[in-house]
Structure 1
Amino acid sequence: METLQQILENLDANAPMTLEEIIQAEVSAWERSDERKQMLIGKRYYRIKNDILEQRRKTIDAEGRMVAADNLADNRIPHGFVRKLVDQKIGYLLSKPFLPKTKKLEYQSELDLFFNDDFKMLFKNTGKDAVNCGKAWLHPYYTDTGELTFMRMNPEECLPIWKDAAHTELAAFIRVYEIEGYVAKKKQTVKRIEWWDLDGVQI
Structure 2
Amino acid sequence: MTSLENRSTRTRVRREELLDELVAVFLAEGFATFTLDELARRLRCSKSTLYGLAASKEQLVVAVVKRFFQRATTAVEQQAAAPDDHRERITAYLLTVAEQLQPASPAFFADLAAFAPAREIYQRNTSSAAARVQQLVGEGVTAGTVRPVHASFVGVAVASVMSAIHRGEVTATTGLDDAAAYRELADLVVTGLAPRC
TM-score of the alignment, normalized to the shorter chain, above 0.5 = no
Q: TM-score range by the shorter chain?
A: under 0.3
Quick one: higher RCO (CA 8 Å, sep 6+), 1 or 2?
2
More helix by share: 2
* Superposition TM-score, scaled by structure 1 size: 0.24
Select the structure of larger CA radius of gyration. 1
TM-score (norm 2): 0.25
